[in-house]
Amino acid sequence: MDLTSALSGLKQAQVLGQVQIAVARKVLDSQRSQGAAAVQLIEAASRGVSQAGDELVAQATGLGGLLDTRG
């Protein structure tokens, strides 16, 4: 193996390493975005369940439906 082919192989390895790092960064960014979206969905679902539960209790018991503000 001569010096020229060794340098060419080294350059190819460097470029391949840079491409792999760039792809890994994109995958990581995508995973972070998906994770954040999943957390938002879970939070939204828990808020909806909590509010729906409060409404069901108010309807079933009649409590919380009316508020006497005149004293």
- Position 57 scores a pLDDT of 72
Q: Which amino acid is at 2?
A: D
**How far is residue 10's CA from residue 33's CA, in Å, rounded to a whole number?**
35
- Residues 54, 64: Cα–Cα separation, whole Å: 9
Could you tell me the pTM of the whole model?
0.55
Write b or e for each residue in 44-56: b if 16 or more Cβ atoms lie within 10 A of its Cβ, otherwise e.
eeeeeeeeeeeee
Q: For the chain, how far is it from start to end, CA to CA, in angstroms?
A: 97
pLDDT one-digit tens code per residue, 15-54? 999 999 999 999 999 999 999 888 888 887 777 766 767 7
Q: What are phi and psi of 69, to 5 degrees?
A: -100, 0
Task: Parse the chain into domains and list their residue ranges.
Answer: 25-59
